[in-house]
Amino acid sequence: EEIGPRRIYLFGSFARGDQALGSDVDLLIVEDQEFGPDRKRWSELQRIRKALRPFRIPKDILVYSQDEFAAWQNSVNHV
């Protein structure tokens, strides 16, 4: 709730079910708002990391706007 995403996608080894000890959790977070001069992706990523800090497992987090995600979702080799 603190993050407030449109969607969260789990991908990588945990999504496939073949994670190993020490595997990270790969998350793609899609948000409604665009990134730009008034809203920096890095700042949003830091806010998300802080909110997820209590979950003590390595995480690889990607964050995109809904428009960015829509533009790339049908691309080959995209998450």
With beta carbons less than 8 A apart as the criterion, state whether 27 and 12 touch: no
Q: Tell me the per-residue pLDDT of 59-70, one tens digit each, with 9 for 90 and over.
A: 999 999 999 998
Q: Reply yes or no on whether the pLDDT at 1 is more than 80.
A: no
Residue 60's pLDDT is: 94
Whole-model pTM: value is 0.79
With beta carbons less than 8 A apart as the criterion, state whether 26 and 60 touch: yes
Task: Dihedral sign for Cα 32, 35, 37, 40, please.
Answer: positive
For residue 38, what pLDDT band results from cuts at 50, 70 and 90?
Answer: confident
What dotted CATH number matches 7-72? 3.30.460.10
Domain edges within the chain: 7-72
Strand ordering across the sheet containing 7-11 = 7-11, 25-31, 59-65
Residue 73's pLDDT is: 75
Residue (of 69, 63, 72, 67) closest to 44 by Cα position: 63
